[in-house]
Copies of this chain bind each other. A is one copy, B any other.
Amino acid sequence: MIRVGIAGASGYTGAELIRILWSHPEVKITALTSEKQAGLPISETFPSLKGIVDLQCESLAHCDLAGKCDLIFSALPHREGMEVVGGLVKAGKKVIDLSADFRLADYKTYEKWYGVEHTQKDLLPKAVYGMPEIKREQIRNAQLVANPGCFPTGAMLGLAPVLKSGWVETSGIIIDSKTGVSGAGRNAGLPFLYPECNEGVKAYNIAIHRHTPEMEQELTGVAGKEVSVTFSPHLIPANRGILSTIYCQMAENKSLDQIWELYHREYAEEAFVRILNKGNLSNTKFVLGSNYCDIGLAKDERNNRLVITTAIDNLAKGASGLAAQNMNIMFGFPEVTGFNGPGLFP
């Protein structure tokens, strides 16, 4: 059994981490921090946990995370957790950071897109971008894992095979993503009130969303040459789920059958990636509450264009499930340990 702590446990990714880790046979949750809920059992914040996980939250300042835990998940907002993560890493702890702080290798890119100073630049070379399907071996030996953003996860899983194979153009890729509202976090804000979201679909931050550089950095790594993307997020009236529809121009003359086989080959050993049958496209409904990424493929022959669809649960494979998968790799547990198979349907 490893002892695990969560810093910033009172948000949605915290709740999802607790839910997933509760089922994990090798994990004991030993510390939860929350400034607002300090002194209260986490089940006051999340009544779904009542009688199951009633551990008391502590404020960060009063919680000896390093002493109580072998691994710490930081679910603190970007920038806010930077020094906390830095301190834990320096104390020799393993850390999985769910924020953006350690995802971008170049701190200047981080500072430009996030508009804040990076105070732990020395740790950036240590940080491994936690995408198991792409960087499993590095994760295995990492002390600090930067857990990917929710949008990049689905986008990268969809694009990796064709970029690696060189079958599509690396420039001008379009990623049109539709996300449920939990992606905005558990923060009271007018735009995320129920009546403001329900019965509405909106585009936002087109071409300026902060997940863009992260996608380009990692996809460039996969492709072996510069990749550029236009990324367009949309807010959808659903709690969970991200559907990404990805458009790329074919660089080589390959049939849909060949592409479909490539994806099957590429992900043959992956426990959490499913290639849909020909003719089927992705639906977030079938991955809710699970760690799966469902990939569908279509080809617009008239425009020589590949269209890839991917569906994930933004809180699971897009955040906390992925983090637990990374933990399994870091500690040598079988990668599926603690996951309960199918998601919730309907």
Residues of A within 8 A of B (CB): 12, 15-16, 18-19, 22-23, 46-53, 171-172, 174, 176, 178, 180-182, 186, 188-190, 192-204, 206-207, 228-230, 232, 234, 236-241, 243, 245, 247, 249, 274, 276, 280-290, 294, 296, 298-303, 305, 307, 309, 311, 340-346
Whether A193 and B201, one on each chain, are in contact in the complex, defined by CB atoms closer than 8 angstroms, is: no
* Chain B contacts for A301, CB-based, 8 A: 207
Q: State which of B19, B234, B286 has its C-beta within 8 Å of the C-beta of A47.
A: B286
Q: State which of B245, B311, B345 has its C-beta within 8 Å of the C-beta of A19.
A: B345
Query: Closest 6 CB pairs between A and B?
Result: A200-B285, A202-B283, A195-B346, A207-B300, A181-B194, A203-B281
Whether A201 and B283, one on each chain, are in contact in the complex, defined by CB atoms closer than 8 angstroms, is: yes
Q: State which of B12, B176, B198 has its C-beta within 8 Å of the C-beta of A237.
A: B198
Whether A48 and B345, one on each chain, are in contact in the complex, defined by CB atoms closer than 8 angstroms, is: yes
* Chain B contacts for A47, CB-based, 8 A: 276, 280, 283, 286, 294
Closest to A19 in B: B342
Bound-complex Cα distance A169 to B305 (A): 16
On whether A48 and B239 interact (CB within 8 A), knowing A194-B192, A230-B307, the answer reads no
Q: Which one of A15, A194, A237, A303 has the highest number of Cβ atoms from chain B below 10 Å of its Cβ?
A: A194
* Chain B contacts for A18, CB-based, 8 A: 342
Give the number of copies in the complex: 4
On whether A19 and B188 interact (CB within 8 A), knowing A230-B305, A243-B234, the answer reads no
Bound-complex Cα distance A283 to B54 (A): 18
* Chain B contacts for A178, CB-based, 8 A: 178, 201, 234, 236
10 contacts between A and B (CB under 8 A): A15-B345, A53-B341, A172-B249, A186-B193, A192-B194, A198-B198, A201-B284, A202-B281, A202-B285, A236-B237
* Chain B contacts for A287, CB-based, 8 A: 48
Closest to A212 in B: B302
User: Nearest Cβ in chain B — how far from A120, in angstroms?
Assistant: 28
Closest to A47 in B: B286
Q: State which of B202, B245, B249, B290 has its C-beta within 8 Å of the C-beta of A284.
A: B202
